[in-house]
A = this chain, B = another copy of it.
Amino acid sequence: MNQYQARLDKIWDWMAQEGIALTMFEDTEGRRDQTIRWLTGHPGDALLLLSIDRKTLLMPWDINLAKAYATADMIIPYGDFDRLPIRAIYGAVEKFKIPAGSKIEIPPVTPYLVFLNYVGELSDFDILCREQSVVSKALEFRAIKDSDEIKILKKAAGITNALIDLLEKKVCSGKIKTEMDAALFIEIEARKRGCEGTGFETLAAGPERSFGIHAFPSWTSAAFGGQGLSILDFGLRLGGYTTDVTLCFAREPDASQEKIISLVEKAAKLAFSMSNNGTSTRGIAAAVDELFARSRKRMPHALGHGIGLEEHEYPSIRNRADNEWVLSPGMVFTLEPGLYDPVHGGCRLENDILMTETGPEILTEARIIRL
């Protein structure tokens, strides 16, 4: 599997530079990290240990699943280490013959109390828990998609666009009448077309519920596409990678609803026009905030985010100094301006953009559809 090797090489180069003998990645309940799938193909709960001599040791929860999907130098069930990370690290130290005194890096999201435990139990080693960790670097690397990933995401976007067209037709013709109709249509068509499924719970909100950013419950048997604003937020997961789009359906919008639609459409155009190589993500988000503020409106969520193996990846696209990114070739991200009113409902328009060497390419065709 060539794509895994190239990704692992980046990680190992970083480990060599930092002098880290052993690194642990964790994908378990409460601490999810798709980097394990990115590096090995394994799609389920596991620990992954990488040694400075460029070997991989995967410890899956489900050994049968790993045998079917994973590429690694060694695969040992996590249960053999009583599903205890410290025992797993000791196991890796032994397998890889890591000398005492070496640097072992654990994920930066490790809880304080767990960290104390590591330091106490692994006192022969130098335990690192840092912002600039290998785990964090992997998330940064993942922000720039490689050619295999771009191919999959483009294919997923093509299927997403086919579904957008069908959804438009079926809501217009009245074949899709309820939130449930819309959500089930997506579930079925996604799998028919070779997807693993949806990338996240589809959010389908008819006019009565579109005031919520994320409809709760995510979809019901309530009417969809009636008078006012309906929102449909969904993604299709293909080979692990998810798209993320939001359509808005407007039927006989009143003046307040027209105002919301118009502002959201303007914001989407503005955001796309500003998206280019070298641009600060914060600058784009600030411009949209300002556009809305001029009409005394406020967007209650971020303008966008990277997509990939997770529905939310880097780069972040928000108006915050502590999470600013520079758009670069290979990034794939959403732009999703939205406004929500407790009385008039909400409108969000979300599309996926690929940054290429020569500029932005819109992969998806979500739109505001007038009924």
Contact: B221 with A192, CB < 8 Å?
yes
Is the CB of A213 closer than 8 A to any CB of chain B? yes
Chain A 15-49 near chain B by CB (<8 Å), digits 1 or 0: 00000000000000111100000000001100000
A-B contact pairs, 10 of them (CB 8 A): A29-B312, A30-B32, A30-B109, A64-B212, A64-B340, A68-B212, A69-B216, A110-B112, A111-B111, A192-B221
Is the CB of A188 closer than 8 A to any CB of chain B? yes
Contact: A213 with B300, CB < 8 Å?
no
What's the Cα separation between A113 and B129 when bound, in Å? Answer: 8
Taking each of A29, A300, A312, which has the highest tally of chain B beta carbons within 10 Å of its own beta carbon?
A300
Chain A 326-362 near chain B by CB (<8 Å), digits 1 or 0: 0000000000000010100000000000000000000
Is the CB of A82 closer than 8 A to any CB of chain B? yes
Q: Could you tell me which A residues sit within 8 Å of B by CB distance?
A: 29-32, 43-44, 61-65, 67-69, 77, 79, 82, 108-115, 129-131, 180, 183-184, 187-188, 191-192, 196-197, 211-214, 216-221, 298, 300-301, 312, 320, 340, 342
Contacts of A220 in B (CB 8 A): 191
What's the Cα separation between A31 and B112 when bound, in Å? Answer: 14
Contact: B109 with A62, CB < 8 Å?
no
In the complex, how many angstroms separate the beta carbon of A83 from the nearest chain B beta carbon? Answer: 8
What's the Cα separation between A188 and B219 when bound, in Å? Answer: 11
Contacts of A213 in B (CB 8 A): 61-62, 64-65
What's the Cα separation between A218 and B201 when bound, in Å? Answer: 13
What's the Cα separation between A320 and B83 when bound, in Å? Answer: 10
Partner of A191, one of B68, B109, B180: B180
Contacts of A64 in B (CB 8 A): 211-213, 340, 342
Contact: B113 with A111, CB < 8 Å?
no
